[in-house]
Amino acid sequence: MNAITLRVKNTPGFRIDGSKLLPSALAASSPDALPRIVLQGAGETCTLGDLFDIDIDIARADADTPSLTIEGDVRWFDHLGANMSEGSLMVHGNAGDYAGMKMSGGELHIKGDAGLFAACEMQGGRVIIDGNAGAFAASALPGDMEGMSGGTLAIHGNAGARLADRMRRGTVLVGGDAGDFAASRLIAGTVCVAGKVGAHLGYGMRRGTVLLTNAPSSVPPTFTEGGRGFDVFWLLLTRMLARESTPAFAALAGNVLPRRYAGDLAVDGRGELLIANS
């Protein structure tokens, strides 16, 4: 498979839809066709060759997955990795909104910040953000009823408001802080936050698990403390977290059981809030 590298040479004066830049799609294109790929902007268009210097390497014969690397700040590029099902997409810089939207496989690694709606409605694969993510990460698109439904989102920095809103399945890891309404209307899945959380944690949460390594300033009044018999679950969860690169989660392996709360009792009340190191 070809390994393609795009190096930013020009910055457009408008936002660009980067959903065409999928590793598998570009690997299937001929070297001559790559610079002529048309990218849609806000009422304007440009070509891949207008924005990037393009380098193509013939990968090893045993490399069976396509690879795409983008070098440079592309915060004006939205939908990077959207609907990706295979391959590896690496961004050495910041990315725009909707990165990893509806992704079902492969890996998207952003070595910088991501904008709004990162990994929204993600179905599988892995998204890694070394910096911060904007609001509505792993959530549902406006008007939709279900957010992230599979895969793993790892944010090494901070996450904005409404993290994992309406999330249904999968794992979200935040190494820093999370904004207001984290895990709001959570249907299922696991959300772990190593830093602080904002107001209205777990608002409308129906099921699923929220793990905090630091006690919040206050537990929501619609959550009640108690519950036993989750020793095996805690052991499996901490073993999984120990494989992650976030030290705060890896340190939980072998720790005593956390405090457990059930909620949100204003709705279904079958979700759980686990507070470790409290």
71 pLDDT band, cuts 50/70/90, is: very high
Looking at residue 30, its pLDDT comes to 86
Whether residue 177 has a cis bond before it, omega within 30° of 0: no
The tens digit of pLDDT for each residue in 249-272 reads 877 876 678 889 998 899 978 899
Tokens of 49: 């060759």
Q: Are strands 45-47 and 38-40 parallel, antiparallel or unpaired?
A: antiparallel
Tokens for 107, please give them. Answer: 């890996």
pTM score, whole prediction: 0.92
Q: Is the separation of the CB atoms in 201 and 180 below 8 Å? A: no
pLDDT digits (tens, 9 = 90+) for 229-245: 777 888 888 888 888 76
Mean pLDDT of the chain: 90
CA distance linking residue 75 with residue 98, whole number of Å: 11
Distance CA 95, CA 247 (A): 25
Q: Per-residue confidence at 29, pLDDT binned at 50, 70, 90?
A: confident
Residue ranges and CATH numbers for the domains of the chain are 1-68 (no CATH), 72-275 (2.160.20.60)
Could you give the CA distance from residue 261 to residue 228 in angstroms, rounded to a whole number?
10
Q: 64: helix, coil or strand?
A: coil
Q: How confident is the model at residue 61 (pLDDT cuts 50, 70, 90)?
A: very low
What percent of the chain lies above the pLDDT cut of 70?
A: 95
The answer to whether 153 and 163 are in contact (CB under 8 A) is no
Identify how many contiguous H helices and E strands the chain contains and give both numbers.
Answer: 4, 17
- 95-122 pLDDT, tens digit per residue, is 999 999 999 999 999 999 999 999 999 9
